[in-house]
Homo-oligomer: A and B are copies of this chain.
Amino acid sequence: MNKELKTRLQDVAKHSGVSMMTVSRVLNKNGMVSDKTRAKVQVAVKELNYRPNVSARRLASSKSFFLGLLYDNPSTSYVSQFLLGSLKFCRASGYHLVVDEADNDLAKTLKSVKELINITQVDGLILLPPVCDIPEVLDTLTTANIPFVRVSPNSQLHISPYVCMDDYQAAFEITEQLINQGHINIAHIIGHPDVGASRLRYQGFLDALRSNKISVPPEYIEQGYFTYKSGLSAAQKLLSLENRPSAIFASNDDMAAASISAAHMNNIQVPSALSVVGFDDTSLASTVWPHISTVRQPIQEMAKMAVELLVSGKFDDPTSTKKSDLRHVLDFEIIQRESSAELR
């Protein structure tokens, strides 16, 4: 560790002719500094390419500069994408990320949460679905007064800031695209019942059909669990129906991939005899053949937003924030690939 190289707060202070404390205030954006001094300091920071020492900061301040990320067990690629995104933005803001997997067991999950709070002393927590909807976890955090951000939560939307995308609208649009391609017999594989997005996507699907005056027979709706396996058995049922659907909308890519497999197994050509669309645009969507038409979720952007919300400190005082500021919706994108096509 080369000590000569590092610029310290003192160097910046000397260079701009003020005290260390003033520089500190400028960097932490709290406290009051006149515009003139602030500008002066900022110039010095830039010129010296100063980067604060996270450890010294953490040691001296009441903040830990740690954020926690708690994930459950959705698709691996979803978690890893989110993870990479948040690591990147944490680093940019001088924070560190402590990652923990929530166990299936509620008691263990709560233990993890408490350890993050008491031992690691995180400044805030990011909760991925479906952990973000476990009431006991939310209670623990609220009681401990730890700020947290939830990703695509399902319930109790007023208790914390959250990032999400418009699952309903995306489902509506991708369904409508199938309709525009001439499909009428469209089946749906619902996502995991514990994940709120599943319901929204299902609703979007239904409403798209309704607004186009298309009715859905009940046997066109199958319950899945976001896993390949569940998708496979759902698709098998759909494809063995008397009146086989010409298109399947699966609530995520894993189940869409499974639908394609099921089609292969039954010698049904995709997309000529069956169109399949998924949701999420995980790497899987372009790793199976044919590539899956899907909805791109901006996972990295969601991670960035989640980190930013915590870092900003805007929500540190839970009583002072208005409901309207809690919701942060990011844009999606419909991706047309080879697994869906015009009905012939």
Interface residues of A (CB under 8 A from B): 1-2, 5, 51, 53-56, 58-59, 62-64, 76-77, 79-81, 83-84, 87-88, 91, 96, 98-99, 101, 118-119, 121, 228, 232, 254, 257-258, 261-262, 264-265, 267, 283-284, 286-289
Contacts and interface: CB of A to CB of B under 8 A. Distances in A.
Given A55-B55, A55-B58, A84-B99, A289 B267 contact: no
Given A1-B64, A258-B289, 12 more contacts: A1-B121, A53-B59, A56-B59, A80-B80, A80-B84, A88-B99, A91-B99, A228-B286, A261-B288, A261-B289, A264-B289, A267-B267
A81 B101 CA distance: 13
A115 to B, nearest CB: 10
A69 to B, nearest CB: 10
A287 B289 contact: no
Name the residue in A91, A286, A288 with the highest tally of chain B Cβ atoms < 10 Å from its Cβ.
A288
10 contacts: A2-B121, A54-B55, A59-B59, A76-B77, A84-B101, A87-B99, A228-B288, A261-B289, A264-B264, A288-B288
Contact of A80 (B53, B56, B62, B79): B79
A38 to B, nearest CB: 24
A288 to B, nearest CB: 6
Nearest to A88: B99
A96 B96 contact: yes
Name the residue in A76, A101, A232 with the highest tally of chain B Cβ atoms < 10 Å from its Cβ.
A76
A51 B119 contact: yes
A247 B340 CA distance: 31
B76 A288 contact: no
B80 A289 contact: no
Contacts of A83: 80, 83-84
Contacts of A286: 228
Contact of A1 (B63, B84, B91): B63
Contacts of A119: 51
A78 to B, nearest CB: 10
A248 to B, nearest CB: 15
A287 B80 contact: no
A257 B287 contact: yes
Given A53-B59, A59-B55, A118 B80 contact: no
A79 to B, nearest CB: 7
Q: Which 7 A-B pairs have the closest CB atoms?
A: A80-B80, A261-B289, A55-B55, A55-B58, A264-B264, A228-B287, A55-B59
Contacts of A80: 76-77, 79-80, 83-84
Contacts of A284: 284, 287
Nearest to A71: B84
B1 A76 contact: no
Contacts of A91: 98-99
A198 to B, nearest CB: 19
Contacts of A261: 288-289
Contact of A283 (B53, B76, B81, B87): B76
A98 B94 CA distance: 11
A267 B262 CA distance: 14
A118 B5 contact: yes
B1 A287 contact: no
